[in-house]
Structure formats: C-alpha cells, structure tokens
Amino acid sequence: MKARQEREKVLSWASTTKVTCFELNDGHHLKIDDFNFFPSRGTITRDGGTKVVERGAEAFIKLVSRQAQTYPSLTGQRRFRTIG
C-alpha cells in the first residue's frame, strides 16, 4: 500500500512538472534521467553509482528537482510513459 502511494506521489509530481518519468517492471521501478526509485523499499540509486543515502518519494523528487534546475532538458514533451 505504501509503495503505491510513493509511486503515485512521484508520478503525480512528474505529470505536473512535465518531467518524463518511465515506469519499469510494472511500476516497481521509476526512472527519471539517471535517477532510479524503487517505491517498495524507498531506495534511490543513480546509474553507474551506488545507492543514494536519502530514501522515499520526497527525497527522490528533491534530487530530480535539483537536477532539472541544472539541466532543463529533463522536462520533456511527454509527462510519463509506461515501458514493459
């Protein structure tokens, strides 16, 4: 139940900010740029790196928001898309 709430929080934020968010593995893995979020555990990782210390949807949103301010190309035309 909490995983669903965490996932929906990220997807809702991505939709309102027009950041492209990919749902992988039936929504058990969310991906924005090189950031990965796993709602069931609240863990955040970065491609090619280790786990981020912070956990949860709010921390994921903050990290991606900071990245989007630095790299505005994160905001795309599609709000989010489901893969596989």
* Residue 74 clears pLDDT 70, i.e. is over it: no
Of 7, 5, 17, 29, nearest to 64 (Cα)?
17
33 alpha-carbon distance from chain centroid: 8
Q: Where are the domains of the chain?
A: 2-74
Summarize the confidence of residues 74-84 as an average pLDDT. 44
- What pLDDT, on a 0 to 100 scale, did the predictor assign at position 25? 86
Strands 80-82 and 21-24: parallel
pLDDT at res. 55: 96
pTM of the model: 0.79
d(CA 76, CA 44): 22
CA–CA distance, 56 with 33 (Å, rounded to integer): 17
Give the pLDDT of residue 77. 40
> Do 64 and 33 contact (CB within 8 A), yes or no?
yes
Mean pLDDT of 52-76: 80
- Alpha-carbon distance of 10 to 21, in angstroms, equals 8
